[in-house]
């Protein structure tokens, strides 16, 4: 139930709050919940809502998705080494 409530809060913040608040909530969710795939979905929705035209490579949809996916995997791997998550 906590995860569902957090997901609703995350997606409401996506539509109503600034992007940096939603991004902060998404990163916090990565550390609170296991396999928080909503991070990837929220990031893609943020990209489509707040994207500006740019010639930078990160502004391209495919590369943004690759960057977000790599960030997700790295954070999942690093979580194992944080003392709070050791069993």
Q: How far apart are CA 76 and CA 79, in angstroms?
A: 5
Q: What is the pLDDT along the chain (87 residues), one digit of tens a residue?
A: 788 999 999 999 989 998 889 889 988 888 888 888 888 888 888 888 777 777 776 667 778 788 888 888 888 888 877 766 654
43: number of Cβ within 10 Å: 21
**How far is residue 10 from each of residues 32, 50, 59, 61, 74, measured CA to CA in Å?**
13, 16, 23, 22, 21
Domain boundaries, the chain: 2-85
- The pTM (predicted TM-score) of the whole model is 0.72
57: number of Cβ within 10 Å: 10
Pair of tokens at residue 60 = 């391209």
pLDDT at res. 55: 73
Encode pLDDT of 14-36 as tens digits: 899 988 898 899 888 888 888 88
């Amino acid at each position: 139930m906590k995860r569902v409530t957090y997901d609703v809060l995350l997606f409401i913040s996506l539509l109503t709050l600034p992007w940096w608040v939603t991004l902060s909530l998404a990163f916090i969710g990565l550390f609170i919940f296991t396999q928080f795939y909503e991070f990837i979905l929220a990031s893609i929705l943020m990209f489509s809502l707040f994207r500006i035209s740019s010639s930078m490579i990160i502004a391209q949809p495919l590369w943004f998705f690759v960057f977000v996916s790599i960030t997700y995997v790295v954070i999942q791997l690093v979580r194992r080494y944080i003392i709070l998550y050791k069993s």
